[in-house]
Amino acid sequence: MPAKTKFEVKLGPATREAFGRALVELGRENKDIVVCDADLSKSTMTTYFAKEFPDRFISCGIAEANMTAIGAGLALAGKIPFVSSFSAFAINKGFEQLRCSVAYPKVNLKVVGTHSGISIGEDGPSQMSVEEIGLACSLAGFVVIAPADEASTKALVRAAAAYVGPVFIRTGRPKCPIVYNGDQKFEIGKAIELVAGSGVTIIASGLLVAQAILASETLEAEGISARVIDMHTAKPIDREAIQRAAVETGAIVVAEEHLVDGGLGVRVAQVVAETHPCPMEFVGIHDTYAESGQPDELMDKYGLMARDVAAAARKVVARKR
């Protein structure tokens, strides 16, 4: 378990950028890696793969449903296909194919959504995907991943390529705080405890992991010992880590850049209810769509900052007492 040292916010590449770089590395190592994109390769960063392996890249046009079906066919032919678009398009437009052509036959397709959440910013609500964790988790047999930074994205993209079965990975547009160095090991379905704590547990994913660490430092200064867990895999979820947090700290906050209805918080709450009920609070987007604006302004307006996580922790600790 890492020692408690002050967390310095240093921005690294966006998780979409890390995904694009990881794809190229995988492509060099394995000729069965193929990539499909829906006319957004310069934004999803699959353009890196397309430039180096043009014969293994398929531009499907603005046709996410068809792209998903093509990817499923490539998987059935023995390839390891990655299909990518903005999360709002990959999930919403391709959902029927994800259900019938991927989940039901359990094909080995990897789906990567970029520009997730409200941190996409100025592109506005039509392209802000705030439902995809819930939708992806509803697909039987799918693994669902939301990495926090560059290092975790690269490692989890590799893990997804090695895993036999359908996977959805959620990545984002903006540069994100560096949480991990290159030494951390990642495993699908295994959460990572970043900060030790005994008074409350903050379970977070994606951009909210860094905010959770910052919140834990604020709380520590107030005499509240806050554990921070990066729950990078929403499905299969790390039941053991959740149960242990409930037993040992007696209060849980879940923080995510997603609608609280149907997101990671619901997945965590289900485990808590089944194993060791305790007070919970939820930091996320509450039954609304966001406006268009600067990413930082939106994260601030919709309550996705460290201060919001800390406020939820104080509230849940008070309920515990």
Give the pLDDT band of residue 209 (cuts 50, 70, 90): very high
> Is the domain of 36 the same as that of 158?
yes
CA–CA distance, 186 with 265 (Å, rounded to integer): 21
Closest Cα partner for 154 from 36, 295, 12?
Answer: 12
CB-based contacts of 162, cutoff 8 Å, min separation 6: none
> Is the domain of 148 the same as that of 118?
yes
pLDDT above 50 (res 3): no
Give the pLDDT band of residue 6 (cuts 50, 70, 90): confident
pLDDT for the residue 4: 59
Q: What tens digit of pLDDT does each residue of 226-274 get? A: 999 999 999 999 999 999 999 999 999 999 999 999 999 999 999 999 9
Mean pLDDT, residues 31-40 taken together: 97
Say which CATH number the domain at 108 has: 3.40.50.970
- Reported as type and span, the H/E element at residue 301 is helix 295-301
> Is the domain of 167 the same as that of 215?
no
52 catalytic residue (yes or no): no
Task: Decide if 265 is inside a domain.
Answer: yes
Tell me the H-state helices in 222-255: 239-249
Q: What range does the domain containing 316 cover?
A: 192-320
Please check whether residue 157 is in contact with residue 33, taking contact to mean a CB–CB distance below 8 angstroms: no
> Is the domain of 170 the same as that of 24?
yes
Task: Decide if 280 is inside a domain.
Answer: yes
How many independent structural domains does the chain possess?
A: 2
Task: Decide if 184 is inside a domain.
Answer: no
> Is the domain of 198 the same as that of 172?
no
Structure tokens at 53: 């392996």
Q: What tens digit of pLDDT does each residue of 150-191 get? A: 999 999 999 999 999 999 999 999 999 999 987 899 999 999
Please check whether residue 283 is in contact with residue 256, taking contact to mean a CB–CB distance below 8 angstroms: yes
Mean pLDDT, residues 299-308 taken together: 98
> Is the domain of 170 the same as that of 196?
no
Strand order through the sheet with 280-285:
192-195, 226-230, 200-204, 252-259, 280-285
> Is the domain of 208 the same as that of 295?
yes
Closest Cα partner for 256 from 197, 206, 301, 314?
Answer: 206
Out of 25, 52, 64, 131, which one is annotated catalytic?
Answer: 64
